[in-house]
Amino acid sequence: MKLSPFFSLVRLGRSARVAASVALLTASLSSAALASSGVGVTTNPQVGNILVDDRGMTLYRFTPDQPSSSTCYDGCARAWPPVLVDAVPTVPDATLSAGLGLAPRTDGTQQLTYQGAPLYSYIGDTQPGDVTGQASDGVWFVVNPN
């Protein structure tokens, strides 16, 4: 009888299970920390054309940020996760591509920018195309490409 991976894990000793769990958690967190490789434009009936990631999730800008410099850390970044990337993604739209860049963060990661504005997602958006963060606290806005 072939056991599932779960049952194989149960048979391991306690310390091995803990180590395996930590490794799985670390792998899932590190892959979740970096944004998907695509950025695109979609039309939302409420706010017009907006930037989205390749899952269709809305991207936002934070007006207190300075050009290519994020001011959203700690609790702010938990609610508004920065779009972290290893490099500027390649996108087929030349105009969109020309506006993309990178901003260094204090932890050594790189945040994707559009026309110098650091980009964020919002944990309140649960479905592609949601714009529940629009105008939040008067400082969070969807990104309308020019």
**Sequence letter at residue 65:** D
Helices of type H across 3-128: 5-11, 14-33, 75-79, 94-99
Residue 125's contacts (CB-CB under 8 Å, 6 or more residues apart) are: 57, 58, 131, 132, 133
Give the whole-angstrom CA distance, residue 107 versus residue 73. Answer: 10
pLDDT at 36: 56
* Model pLDDT for residues 5-31, shown as the tens digit of each residue: 444 444 444 444 444 443 433 333 333
* Model pLDDT for residues 63-102, shown as the tens digit of each residue: 999 999 999 999 999 999 999 999 999 999 999 999 999 9
